[in-house]
Amino acid sequence: MYQAKELTVSTRGRGLVDITGEVQKAVKGTGIREGLCTLFLHHTSASLLISENADPVVQRDLEAFFSRLVKDGDPLFQHDAEGPDDMPAHVRTVLTQVSLSIPVKDGAADLGTWQGVYVWEHRTSPHRRRVTVSVLGG
């Protein structure tokens, strides 16, 4: 059996948005007990990740690292049609990922104890991001 659901995630600008609850709800709603959940983000300036969900300092540290690695307004980049964060957002996305695979066990996404699923917004302004949650199994 295969089912898919689309999530819309509102961001507040650069940073991580926890979507673990919405993903779990979508997986449970399929009625599939065992299988595979695939998440796909339909954008080129945000990404998906599984990360530590207990200590918010982890999120700040990730952002600090990427801010050092890929600087807004870096003169290296020519693509700046939407501002100084335009190309850096694209680079951040290609360094991370826009899809995730998570096993489904007992009707839920089988995440580890301290794992959460996040949309990582790489633009500095708020956006609405589209995520497809696909579940395959029985």
What pLDDT does 119 receive?
98
In a domain, 4, yes or no: no
In a domain, 138, yes or no: no
Phi/psi class of residue 38: alpha, beta or left (left: φ > 0; alpha: ψ in -120 to 50)?
A: beta
- Whichever domain contains 20, its CATH number is 2.60.120.460
In a domain, 2, yes or no: no
Number of domains in the chain: 1
Per residue in 32-86, pLDDT (tens digit) is 999 999 999 999 999 999 999 999 999 999 999 999 999 999 999 999 999 999 9
122, 15 Cβ separation under 8 angstroms: no
Residues spanned by the domain of 95 = 10-130
Confidence grade of residue 16 (pLDDT, cut at 50, 70, 90): very high
Average pLDDT for the chain: 97
What pLDDT does 51 receive?
97
In a domain, 63, yes or no: yes
What pLDDT does 82 receive?
96
In a domain, 51, yes or no: yes
In a domain, 89, yes or no: yes
